Amino acid sequence: MPPVFGVLFDGLAYGMLLFLLSVGLSVTLGMMNFVNLAHCSFAMLGGYVTVTLMNAYGWPFFATLPVAFIAASLASVALERLIFRRFYNAGELEQCLLTIGVVFVSIAAAAYVYGTAIQPVQLPDYMRGSINYAGLNFAVYRIFLIGISLVITIALVFTIETTRFGAQVRAAVNNQRMARGLGINVDGLFALTFALGSGLAGLGGALAIEIVGLDPSFALTYLIYVLIVVSVGGLGSIAGSFAAAMVLGISDMAGKYYVPALGSILIYLVMMVLLMWRPSGLFGRR
Amino acid sequence: MTAATVAGPHQYMAEQMRWRWSEIAFWLATLLPFLVAPSYLVLANQVAITALFALSLDLILGFSGIVSLGHAAYFGVGAYAAGLASKWGWGEPLSGLLIAALAAGLLGYVTSFVIARFRHLALIMITLGLGLLLQEAANSASWLTGGFDGLQGIHTWSIFGEFHFDLYGYTAYGYSLSVLFLIFLIARRLIYSPFGLALRGIRENGQRMPAIGAATREHIRTIYTIAAIIAGVAGALLAETTETVSLEVLGFQRSADVLVMLILGGTGRLYGGLIGAAVYMVARDQFSGLNPQYWYFWIGLLLIAVVMILPNGILGGLSLLARRLKVPS
Amino acid sequence: MSENALAARGVNKSFGSLVVAADVEINLPQGVRYALIGPNGAGKTTLINLMTGMLRPDAGHIFLGDEDITALPPEQRVWRGLVRTFQINSLFPHLTALESVTLAVCERRRVARTWWRPLTAYRSEVDEAYEILSSLMLAPVSHRLTRELAYGQQRLLEIALALATRPKVLLLDEPAAGVPRDESQELFTAIAGLSRDITVLFIEHDMELVFRFASRVIVMVGGRVLVEGTPQEIASDPHVRAVYLGKATGKADHG
């Protein structure tokens, strides 16, 4: 098999990860128009929870994943209740500044507690190594990552399309005022969606450790990629986030493999071109 | 309210524009480092340069409402333009500023066509993307930019053959301060012109502007280009007075820092960027022993506090205080 | 066609399956006062957006006098004299009333691009702005910030902004909307005082205004023009009554 398939596979895995990290932000941005730049701080939290449970308490990797999800969810609920909710009607700039402040604080806190080195993590034996197929190596962990992401994606789509909760979310994203008028408790809905989205980010952060490494700068570095996915995909759109994450993941891998001298230039260019073509995102409204 | 005592619209307009004693005091105070703290002249020079950069951001952010996360692109281009000119043999400082202004202005003009077409999140992302793109490109083009190590071989000639740049910093600070003051005067004039009013209109309600016949995109392109030129000049000042240029001049860090300074001081007041820059850089100098991570911890808390308590920054807080003091209870 | 100050021909617009304008034909002769009425969601504001260029029609043309302006961007239509006000105040919160109107005057006179001369050098622009404010009884508050003005005063400022552009055709979108009874007198006076050189189309739900000022009424429902006629004809038209009877406005029964 030509190496392009290996690149596609890696790009797919990376894209799935980006999707998990981004989908929560896209939906909450689309629903409340609240620019939460601290989204990746929750991802980072999930990552550090996993690291702590595994390295300090000897937990198995899989057991830490639900805890990462829950920890990030709870943290987001606390922040939302205490600080964020007063700024739902504030301007974009204020929301940016407020949440950047949270990011800075979270990075410093992580550096204080864990230091700035990349966190080591020991995957279980059956997760390591790779499967050799048709001349190419496919990392077992990435297969797992793609698998679990697909499961989560299907669960998300199922929830959004078939459950009452999902219908309410779609209504609130589409037209908040109308949704309130119909009696939907938009504030409560948002709090729940925010918690779920942040939880997913936390899970993504835990899963990311093996692929991209975890250190305090994660909250800022991956914020940029997440913002690219969200703005290119379109606010409030799960399909958009998925498509954009795939495009981004594959372009990034392809760029790094075929033209490493370009570095990240390719993704920034792709983002800008796509945004200029569709300012509201590929699947965005307006 | 003084509505009853104001004679008429012209007097009112003139009253808005006249020089306040606090402004004069401010500019006199900028001369203090020469007299009372000559060991801090190097820091003062950095403050002046950063203040000029913050001023340029205020023109697009504070007055026109364009949120840019990549403004350092123009600062960096100006710095590299002046630095390269010097490295390649032309170290005359004043013409170096012109070269930087041209380079940054050209980039600003070209990008302004893109900037003027977008709003909200798309605009923020595009400015971020432009900054990151330039940073990556500069990193890759290490044959030109010196890569991680930066430009080597910059030597700035003396001004008019009289004022030499040395380690003491008198010339450097005098030079930067003069440029800052001159450009400030131009900016002040711009703010109180019809164009300045149009910019505030765009900030206040961009949707309404076409409905009163405003060519909004043209206005945005003009101010964005002007702001790019000023940022480029600030970058050139850095290159010339410190004789170093490294990749961080275009970095996201620099774009973010100047944004924080402007917010700290208060947007849309011309002096906000200057005061914010002074406070931020002096504080950073005082805490320079601190691990950079911890510095950003306090900056993070400060940002949260400013947004929650003092949304208009230091100057906003001061004017609130002034109003409270004036009204007898 | 040239006796019409403004005309819309065969204008169509849809958002997906939602049809907001269907084969709309409107003619506004020079100097008239017409009213556009209809239930909420009938497409009245959409029509104004289409006429002023904030929306592009899927089909059809807009004519200003003899000129086909369908492809022109909004600010160019304003330069040619087609101006609108907004149903929900769209003002400049932190500009004073005087600054707002002066801005509109400067834009009209194309001096808003000059950045090297201070505003104090533009005496005639400021004078003109002050005069407009005075004609709408806003002179005493000209130095107040827009956000500090009473709602009725803000509504008047909306009109002041429009007047500053020297309109030939003025589209007023519910000028009296939300104005309490005790503040509406100035508004009525202002509308009555509009020069006969200006052609006016106003959207209104307040039937008192419609009967006082309009010589002709156009009724829109569901993106279409239902019927057109004098206020008396419209008030007694059974179709119009049927459309309005479900709404809680008892004021529809006039004359």
Per-residue DSSP letters for B196-254?
HHHHHHHHH-TTHHHHTT--HHHHHHHHHHHHHHHHHHHHHHHHHHH----GGGGSHHH
Pick the closest to residue C204 from C217, C193, C192 (CA basis). Answer: C217
In angstroms, the first-to-last Cα distance of chain B is: 14
B29 at interface of A, judged by CB pairs closer than 8 A: no
A286 lies in a domain? no
With beta carbons less than 8 A apart as the criterion, state whether A70 and A229 touch: no
Residue A256 pLDDT > 90, yes or no? no
- pLDDT of B16: 86
B79 at interface of A, judged by CB pairs closer than 8 A: no
Q: How distant is the alpha carbon of residue B146 from its chain centre? A: 25
How far B122 CA lies from chain A's nearest CA (Å)? 6
A230 lies in a domain? no
B247 at interface of A, judged by CB pairs closer than 8 A: no
Confidence of residue B220 (pLDDT cuts 50, 70, 90): very high
With beta carbons less than 8 A apart as the criterion, state whether C150 and C126 touch: no
With beta carbons less than 8 A apart as the criterion, state whether B80 and B237 touch: no
Q: How far apart are CA B193 and CA C122, in angstroms?
A: 9
Strand partners, B85: none
Q: Which residues of B touch A263 (CB under 8 A)?
A: 136, 139-140
- pLDDT of B73: 96
Report, as ranges of residue numbers, the positions in chain C whose pLDDT lies below 50. Answer: 1, 247-255
- What backbone torsions phi and psi does residue C216 show, to the nearest 5 degrees? -150, 145
A283 lies in a domain? no
A7 lies in a domain? no
Contact between C74 and B211 using a beta-carbon 8 Å cutoff: yes
Q: Which residues of C touch B196 (CB under 8 A)?
A: 115, 119
At residue A129, the 3 state secondary structure works out as coil
Contact between A107 and B296 using a beta-carbon 8 Å cutoff: yes
- pLDDT of A285: 66
DSSP state of B188: H
Q: Which residues of A touch B140 (CB under 8 A)?
A: 261-263, 265
B42-62: average pLDDT? 96
HSE on the CB side for B160, CA within 13 Å? Answer: 4
Listing DSSP states for C96-149 in one string gives BHHHHHHHHHHHHTT-TT--SS-GGG-HHHHHHHHHHHHHTT-GGGTTSBGGGS
Q: Which of B293, B295, B308 to mutate to test the interface with A (most CBs of A within 10 A)?
A: B293
- pLDDT of B329: 44
Confidence of residue B110 (pLDDT cuts 50, 70, 90): very high
- pLDDT of A140: 87
- pLDDT of B7: 57
Q: Which residues of C touch B214 (CB under 8 A)?
A: 75, 103, 107, 112
Place of tokens 């002249």: B41
- pLDDT of A177: 78
B185 at interface of C, judged by CB pairs closer than 8 A: no
Q: What is the rounded (10 degree) CA torsion for C181, C187, C193, C197?
A: -130
- Among the ranges A157-171, B177-191, B254-268, which has the highest mean pLDDT value? B177-191
Q: Which fold has domain C4-91+166-252?
A: Rossmann fold (3.40.50)
With beta carbons less than 8 A apart as the criterion, state whether A94 and A34 touch: no
With beta carbons less than 8 A apart as the criterion, state whether C77 and C53 touch: yes
- Cβ within 8 Å of residue B74, ≥6 positions away: B56, B104, B107, B108, B227, B228, B229, B231, B232, B235
- pLDDT of C255: 35
- ipTM of predicted assembly, 2 dp: 0.87
- pLDDT of B194: 95
How far B227 CA lies from chain C's nearest CA (Å)? 13
> Quick check: do C and A touch, 3+ CB pairs under 8 A?
no
Residue B165 pLDDT > 90, yes or no? no
Q: Which residues of A touch B291 (CB under 8 A)?
A: 111
Query: Subunits touching A (CB < 8 Å, at least 3 pairs)?
Result: B
- pLDDT of A69: 95
Q: How far apart are CA B226 and CA A201, in angstroms?
A: 41
What angle, rounded to 10 degrees, do the helices at A238-258 and A3-32 form? Answer: 140
> Quick check: do A and B touch, 3+ CB pairs under 8 A?
yes
Contact between B300 and A271 using a beta-carbon 8 Å cutoff: no
- pLDDT of C245: 57
Residue A48 pLDDT > 90, yes or no? yes
- Cβ within 8 Å of residue B34, ≥6 positions away: B41, B170, B173, B174
How far A256 CA lies from chain B's nearest CA (Å)? 13
A73-82: average pLDDT? 93
Confidence of residue A90 (pLDDT cuts 50, 70, 90): confident
B189-216: average pLDDT? 94
Q: How far apart are CA B83 and CA B241, in angstroms?
A: 10
B214 at interface of C, judged by CB pairs closer than 8 A: yes
Q: Which residues of A touch B294 (CB under 8 A)?
A: 108, 112
Place of tokens 């999140």: B121
- What backbone torsions phi and psi does residue A138 show, to the nearest 5 degrees? -115, 115
A207 lies in a domain? yes
Q: How far apart are CA B238 and CA B253, in angstroms?
A: 16
State the total domains in chain A: 1
Q: Which residue of C has its CA nearest to B204?
A: C92
Beta strands in B65-222 (DSSP E): none
B194-207: average pLDDT? 94
Q: Which residue of A has its CA nearest to B136?
A: A265
> In the predicted model, what is the mean pLDDT of chain C?
87
Contact between B300 and A104 using a beta-carbon 8 Å cutoff: yes
Token pair of B123 as six digits:
């605009």
With beta carbons less than 8 A apart as the criterion, state whether A26 and A236 touch: yes
A77 lies in a domain? yes
Token pair of B34 as six digits:
């020469």
B289 at interface of C, judged by CB pairs closer than 8 A: no
- What backbone torsions phi and psi does residue C218 show, to the nearest 5 degrees? -110, 130
Q: How far apart are CA C203 and CA B43, in angstroms?
A: 62
B219 at interface of C, judged by CB pairs closer than 8 A: yes
Q: Which domain holds residue A93?
A: 20-218
DSSP state of B156: P
With beta carbons less than 8 A apart as the criterion, state whether A44 and A106 touch: yes
- pLDDT of B234: 97
Q: How far apart are CA A124 and CA A137, in angstroms?
A: 19
Alpha-carbon distance values, A38 to A69, A122, B247, B305 (Å): 16, 28, 26, 16
pLDDT tens for each residue of C16-58: 778 889 999 999 999 899 999 988 878 899 999 999 999 999 9
Contact between B121 and A235 using a beta-carbon 8 Å cutoff: yes
HSE on the CB side for C10, CA within 13 Å? Answer: 4
Contact between C119 and B208 using a beta-carbon 8 Å cutoff: no
Pick the closest to residue B242 from B234, B230, B231 (CA basis). Answer: B234
For residue A16, the one-letter residue type is M
Residue B180 pLDDT > 90, yes or no? yes
A119 lies in a domain? yes
A36-46: average pLDDT? 94
Among the partner residues A98, A111, A235, nearest to B304 by beta-carbon distance = A98
> In the predicted model, what is the mean pLDDT of chain B?
90
Q: Which residue has the higher pLDDT, A262 or B7?
A: A262
Q: Which of B2, B193, B199, B202 to mutate to test the interface with C (most CBs of C within 10 A)?
A: B193
- pLDDT of C157: 94
Q: Which residue of B has its CA nearest to A99?
A: B304
Contact between B222 and C161 using a beta-carbon 8 Å cutoff: no
Longest dimension (CA), chain A: 59
Share of chain B above pLDDT 90, in %: 57
> Residue B320, Cβ neighbours under 10 Å: how many?
12
Length of chain B: 329
